[in-house]
Amino acid sequence: MAGSRPKVGVLALQGDFREHLNVLRRLGADAVPVRRPAELDDVDGLVIPGGESTVMDKLSRAFGLRDPLIARISAGMPVYGTCAGLIMLSSEVLDAAQGQQTLGGLDVTVRRNAFGNQNDSFETDLETPELGLPPVHAIFIRAPVVTRVGAAVTTLATLPDGRVVAVEQGDLLGTAFHPEVTNDTRFHRRLLERIAAG
């Protein structure tokens, strides 16, 4: 990590990677798109954005990124996954497409499209004690939900009905919602703190 400016990659195969790049740059990070293994080698941490998890999975294999991603995650690189990114980081996916694979790292089970289709998108405020006040204003778009949380995983936020929508395990962070489209930068800051601590 050069000086105090972390170099943070955003997986830019598909999805809303530009929004994450903008947030990270506003927070002072050197944020770069990652599409190739050599670009992944050069970053201190990574964001896996929202999008279509099945397409991201296929493209990560087509671009030769799947194995390098798994290796960096296993080696402790801080990673934050939103929506499809949370699915990519999970150890198990319910309602997965045929042949769909994940990168793993987070000991959680998630259900794809748990809230229905695009028309069933919604917004709500979430209590997040680990991040302090005010509550997080969360936007859910074709979002997954965490149905099982492993022993080493910390739950960061739940819906009022108890369904888990934000988790953390070591240097891995995942949310079912999209902080990059609101002005709440606390999850991105948390990733940057993990990178700085490393």
Say whether pLDDT at 2 is over 50. no
Catalytic residue among 19, 20, 178, 188: 178
The residue from 20, 83, 168, 188 that is catalytic is 83
Mind giving me the DSSP string for 152-198? TPEEEEE-TTS-EEEEEETTEEEESS-GGGSS--HHHHHHHHHHHH-
Each residue's pLDDT tens digit, 183-195: 899 999 999 999 9
pLDDT tens-digit series, residues 114-142: 877 666 688 999 999 999 999 999 999 88
- Eight-class DSSP state of 84: H
For the chain, percent of residues with pLDDT exceeding 70: 96
| CB burial readout 90-110, b (16+ within 10 A) else e | bbebeebeeebbbbbbbbbbb
pLDDT in tens, 30-42: 999 999 999 999 9
Domains plus CATH for the chain? Answer: 7-197 (3.40.50.880)
Would you state the pLDDT for residue 121?
A: 82
Q: How much is the pTM?
A: 0.95
Q: Is 188 a catalytic residue?
A: no
Q: What is the pLDDT at residue 119? A: 63
